[in-house]
Each structure stands twice: as structure tokens, then as C-alpha cells.
């Protein structure tokens, strides 16, 4: 029996998947953490077989330390504070269009930053912030695709 809701479980799994992607994929994350990629894969899997398997706290801390963004810390903080986390819900045309808007934000921010041929620190931070938001939404979509919830 698990102590967290399905919604919170999916938030942690999506954050786990986003952190793996931020490091360059499961294989690179496994190498960085000295853990088998098959072990890490189950931590992000929404499949029934692995629904109660979550990343260990020591691995989560190290993973966040190595990423540009603390995906797992942010996810767990939102859960503890009981903050509402936006979710795609069902895969719908409007959900995909919302993702398109998030990805457009990344492209638009990057394009504006390079117009003058130089990207300053504030522009870099703005771009990275948009990339983090996009990765989180992409991780939620990917988790839904892995779960077959379409």
C-alpha cells in the first residue's frame, strides 16, 4: 500500500523523467549515478508493474544536484505544500496546443535573446526557465504516452 495519491505519484514520476532527460537520457543518468539504467527506468515508469517504485532519496538529491533545475525537489515541495500542479489531464488537442505554446515560448525567448548577437546572463536565465517548463510538460506528456492513457 502506498501513502501517496496517484496524482502525486505521477508528479514524482514525471519529475524523475524530466531530470533524466535534462542529463541527456536514462543511460547518461545511470552512468552519472552509478546505477543500472533498468533500475532508473522503473522509477520513471507509469506502468502498472512499477507504479509503486520511486527513486531513492539519495539518488533524487544527486540527480537534482547534477541538473540545471531541481526537478524532484520542486515536485516534492509542491506535493508537501499541497500546491496545485498543472496537468494535461487527458491527451486532447487543446493539451497538445498548450504544449505547443510552451515550446513556442522557448523558441521566442531564445530568438529574442540572439537578435543582438549576444546572450547576456538575464537572457540565459529566461531561456533556461522556459526550457525547464517545457521539459516538465514534455515529461508529463511522455509519462502519459508510456502509460497508454490516450
pTM (2 decimals)? Answer: 0.61
Dihedral sign from CA coordinates of 116, 121, 124, 125: negative
Residue 57, pLDDT > 60, answer yes
Average pLDDT over residues 45-63: 91
Most confident by average pLDDT, 16-20, 41-45, 96-100 = 41-45
pLDDT tens-digit readout, 65-110: 998 778 888 888 888 887 665 544 555 666 676 777 788 888 998 9
Higher-pLDDT residue of 145, 53: 53
Q: What is the pLDDT of residue 103?
A: 87
For the record, the C-alpha cell of 119 comes out as 546572450
The confidence score (pLDDT) of residue 99 equals 76
Amino acid at each position: 500500500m502506498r501513502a501517496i495519491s496517484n496524482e502525486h505519484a505521477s508528479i514524482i514520476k514525471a519529475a524523475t523523467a524530466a531530470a533524466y532527460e535534462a542529463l541527456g537520457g536514462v543511460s547518461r543518468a545511470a552512468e552519472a549515478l552509478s546505477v543500472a539504467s533498468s533500475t532508473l527506468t522503473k522509477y520513471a515508469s507509469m506502468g502498472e508493474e512499477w507504479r509503486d517504485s520511486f527513486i531513492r532519496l539519495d539518488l533524487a538529491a544527486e540527480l537534482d544536484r547534477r541538473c540545471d533545475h531541481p526537478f524532484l525537489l520542486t515536485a516534492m515541495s509542491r506535493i508537501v505544500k499541497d500546491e496545485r500542479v498543472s496537468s494535461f489531464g487527458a491527451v486532447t488537442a487543446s493539451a497538445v496546443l498548450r504544449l505547443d505554446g510552451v515550446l513556442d515560448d522557448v523558441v521566442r525567448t531564445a530568438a529574442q535573446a540572439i537578435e543582438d548577437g549576444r546572450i547576456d546572463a538575464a537572457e540565459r536565465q529566461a531561456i533556461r526557465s522556459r526550457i525547464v517548463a517545457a521539459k516538465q510538460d514534455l515529461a508529463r506528456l511522455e509519462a502519459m504516452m508510456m502509460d497508454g492513457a490516450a
